[in-house]
Amino acid sequence: MAIATINPYDGNHVKSFSASTAREINAVLAGAAQAVPDWSGMEFAGRAALMRRAAAVLRSGSGHWARLMTLEMGKTAREARAEIEKCAAACEFYAAHARDFLADTRIESDAGLSYVSFFPLGTILGVMPWNFPFWQVFRFAAPALMAGNTVLLKHASNVPQCALAIETIFRESGFPDGVFGLLLISGSDVGKVIADPRVHAVSVTGSEEAGRSIATAAGSALKKTVLELGGSDAFIVLEDADLEAAAATGVASRYINGGQSCIAAKRFILVDPVARDFIELFRRKAGALRQGDPAAEDTDVGPMARADLRDHLHRQVRESIERGAVALMGCAPAAGPGFFYDISLLDRVTAGMPAYDEEIFGPVAVMIHARDEEDALRIANDSRYGLGGSIWTRDIPRGERLARRLQSGSAFVNGLVKSDARLPFGGIKASGYGRELSVLGIREFVNAKTVWIS
């Protein structure tokens, strides 16, 4: 894929970028390797001061950084500014807590003294996606950098200006040369970078296909990976749920970022007694959303990021309808320029349809009917994905009991599934492995060394 900015709002080409040459790639790798000793040896307070500066640079340029996201992948202006604030908050969180998260942990044993101490691995490569082009990078980079690692970024090819902006943010924040490096390369070149001995581990956020490919390359080089891949999150509505709250949250979760979120609610699993009422509420609220120019302040849903993504989504919807699903709203590409897909609602989805079996990455809500609680849980777990999920019920102990049985990396009761720097984030099954954020996230890319003293 060409490294270029294509405006999803009108489909116009904005700017192309030259891929990094072999000499430039080597220089970035060499710079990262050279920076490791001084950066890893710096006191936490020194790294934290720079990370707080990064938060300040993010906030001071919030409008500019947000406009880049709107231009390159169609994120609405309001959501883009919120993403910048979330990045700044994550920088501050790790600046405040990294020292405690990586403090020596004493363990009683037959030694006079024994403990676990945490040391950086070296240089970590981040292969990051386009849908949250700042947040995905910072939630990986902030903990990795605060742990004393240097970081390399290979960003998605359709958000090169966002990638260059992130490089600028770290440079303007005063991070030493080599601590953060940018590689403008295609996906086909990632394997060569992984194989380089100056790279010690890889963090990937992206598709299941990309995760499998990168994990294979890293595995052959015996390098650790953390994979945050696709999701098809269940949104279970039980007969005692607050339907008004569930529908409002469901619409927000499904259509945020144009439906292009790994943890968006994608499979709405409704028990029969409330299915009809919930769908009507959901349909009314979804129909009130404004779809249009993502730069406009009153726009709720922008375009999809690329034409091929929209075409793939429509194939999934069309094939599901051919197999018996019912289109209640939208379910077609929008007329006019740009990569818009109508705000859509697909009912009566069952196993064997793409809308049931595959991840639906776009503004299409999928309604699945269940007989009762146990049937709903069965359907929720009948997926090769396991990123997140939510359960809606007024009976909190019931919700907690079902949440513990949900096969996912996170489970929310009466709430929006979201990532939060204070809580571990990641999936199971085809949604990947390892964790980002919180104490578990910063400990992914360190050497947990046992020290035993007689």
List the chain domain ranges. Answer: 4-229+431-453, 233-421
Specify the pTM. 0.97
Distances (CA, A) of 280 to 206, 330, 352, 415: 33, 15, 25, 20
Torsion angle, alpha carbons of 430, 431, 436, 440, to 10: -50
Q: Name the helix (H) or strand (E) containing 233.
A: strand 233-237
Q: Which two three-digit tokens encode residue 94? A: 């790790």
d(CA 277, CA 206): 35
Q: Verify whether residue 228 is a known catalytic residue.
A: yes
What class, spelled out in words, does domain 4-229+431-453 have in CATH?
alpha beta
Per-residue pLDDT of the chain (454 residues; tens, 9 = 90+): 689 999 999 999 999 999 999 999 999 999 999 999 999 999 999 999 999 999 999 999 999 999 999 999 999 999 999 999 999 999 999 999 999 999 999 999 999 999 999 999 999 999 999 999 999 999 999 999 999 999 999 999 999 999 999 999 999 999 999 999 999 999 989 999 999 999 999 999 999 999 999 999 999 999 999 999 999 999 999 999 999 999 999 999 999 999 999 999 999 999 999 999 999 999 999 999 999 999 999 999 999 999 999 999 999 999 999 999 999 999 999 999 999 999 999 999 999 999 999 999 999 999 999 999 999 999 999 999 999 999 999 999 999 999 999 999 999 999 999 999 999 999 999 999 999 999 999 999 999 999 999 9
d(CA 44, CA 65): 28
Q: Name the helix (H) or strand (E) containing 320.
A: helix 307-322
CATH of domain 233-421: 3.40.309.10
Identify the active-site residue in 228, 358, 436, 444. 228
Place of tokens 């020194």: 46
CA atoms within 13 A on the CB side of 45: 0
d(CA 400, CA 393): 10
Q: Give the relative orientation of helices 44-60 and 77-101 as an angle to the nearest 10 degrees.
A: 170
Comparing CA positions, the residue from 282, 244, 284, 238 lying closest to residue 390 is: 238
Identify the active-site residue in 87, 91, 162, 262. 262
